Amino acid sequence: MKDNARKSWSKRTRAVHSGTRRSQYGELSEAMFLTQGFVYDSAEAAEARFIEAGPDEFIYARYGNPTVAMFEDRIAALEGAEAAFATASGMAAVNGALVSMLRAGDHVVSSRALFGSCLYILEDVLTRYGVEVTFVDGTDLDAWRAAMRPDTKAVFFESLSNPTLEMIDIEAVSAIAHEVGATVICDNVFSTPVFGDAIGQGADVVVYSATKHIDGQGRCLGGVILGTEQFIRKTVEPYLKHTGGAMSPFNAWVMLKSLETVDLRCRAQAASAQAIAEALEGAAGLTRVIYPGLASHPQHDLARRQLEEPGTVIALEVAGGQAAAFRVLNALEIIKISNNLGDAKSIVTHPTTTTHQRLTDEQRAELGITPGLIRLSVGLEDPADLIADLKGALALA
């Protein structure tokens, strides 16, 4: 029995109810169907299902599973997408969205400010199979225009980049891409499923690492690709179901239940991020505070237009380079040194020596990733405690 969630319901309500499938027991909390396979009533039923499976008919967990389907339907309802395919990780989603639709000879345009693993797929993997990739400064609309060609099949960007929080104008870039018929694929992790409306603003495909805000409590890896029914069923699904990138039912159950609180968590984290950014801007020991919610952010107006709230991540540049940045990290008491983000626990990362270590000095300089830069993912702690922790660490450093 599937819950008949309505389109008119607000995002918060959809995040609690959409996609629920109840078994014959009428359980209130969604069941975890920890099963690889499914039993058929007869040989004829098995044959029929392999010819065409209905929406509540499953064959094998690599193709689909009831708990995974609940997560897919719920996140699709939340995002306003026709369909979704859940994956084992965010990178399986990025790889699946790109590789499933591209072939040798195709051209892709991508913004340069990318998460290291995304850069690896575009720079190393796709090119190995004969796909040509052009990288542009994602904030420069003329650069996007100049890079488009008649054979451009896909456009890829992170709507809010990691770790320097550059924003891509989704509406403008999508309009440019659609002029040549390219599919717009938006990695929307930093915008969260709560604050953005990437599909409404023109993106064709939205990708999330569910590992981040969707789980939000640091437990499971996961990802999801959202798009039209046609794109998900005819392009993404055949590729992923045969190449093994499926999400596990256990992880899907964790992600599904986490969607019930994702709105509350993201809003609380963004409110704290705004308070922390305001408290730290101009503080002694810091040369820059980067947060799209600050008037000093070069794309503050775009952030207000494109996002309900400007995200949960702040970038801080410490005066005194890497040594000073390390002293700040080591002096923090509440905020943990780790490379995840979107978690209930506040987390700091030093991108130069960890997440962006693979890049050359020139590449990092071009992206604004300086040795003094720290990425702060704001969690659910009391923001006053976080501000005190950060100010204390800055004073010691």
Ligand X SMILES: *Cc1c(COP(=O)(O)O)cnc(C)c1O
- Residues interacting with ligand X, by CB under 6 A? 89-91, 94, 115, 117-118, 158, 162, 187, 189, 209, 211-212, 221, 223
Which parts of 69-213 are beta strand (E)? 83-87, 107-111, 132-136, 152-158, 183-187, 205-209
Beta bridge partners of 246: 87
Nearer to ligand X, 20 or 111 (CB): 111
* Residue 88 beta carbon to ligand X: minimum distance, rounded to whole angstroms: 8
Reference 286, options 295, 277, 294, 299; nearest CA is 277
Q: Please, what is the end-to-end C-alpha distance for the chain in angstroms?
A: 58
Matching residue, tokens 């994702």:
262
Nearer to ligand X, 205 or 394 (CB): 205
* Residue 114 beta carbon to ligand X: minimum distance, rounded to whole angstroms: 8
CB 187 within 8 A of CB 207: yes
Tallying the residues shown for the chain, one arrives at: 397
* Residue 354 beta carbon to ligand X: minimum distance, rounded to whole angstroms: 13
* Residue 392 beta carbon to ligand X: minimum distance, rounded to whole angstroms: 28
Nearer to ligand X, 100 or 211 (CB): 211
Nearer to ligand X, 18 or 377 (CB): 377
Matching residue, tokens 């599904």:
256
Helix pair angle (249-280, 66-79), 10° resolution: 30
Burial of 272 per CB tally in 10 Å (0-12, 13-18, 19+): buried
Nearer to ligand X, 285 or 351 (CB): 351
Q: How many C-beta neighbours within 10 Å does residue 360 have?
A: 8
Reference 317, options 364, 374, 277, 376; nearest CA is 374
* Residue 187 beta carbon to ligand X: minimum distance, rounded to whole angstroms: 5
The tokens of 291 are what? 């947060």
Nearer to ligand X, 211 or 299 (CB): 211
Nearer to ligand X, 185 or 221 (CB): 221
* Residue 231 beta carbon to ligand X: minimum distance, rounded to whole angstroms: 19
Query: Closest residue (Cβ) to ligand X?
Result: 90
C-alpha to C-alpha distance for 223 and 179, rounded to whole angstroms:
29
* Residue 355 beta carbon to ligand X: minimum distance, rounded to whole angstroms: 9
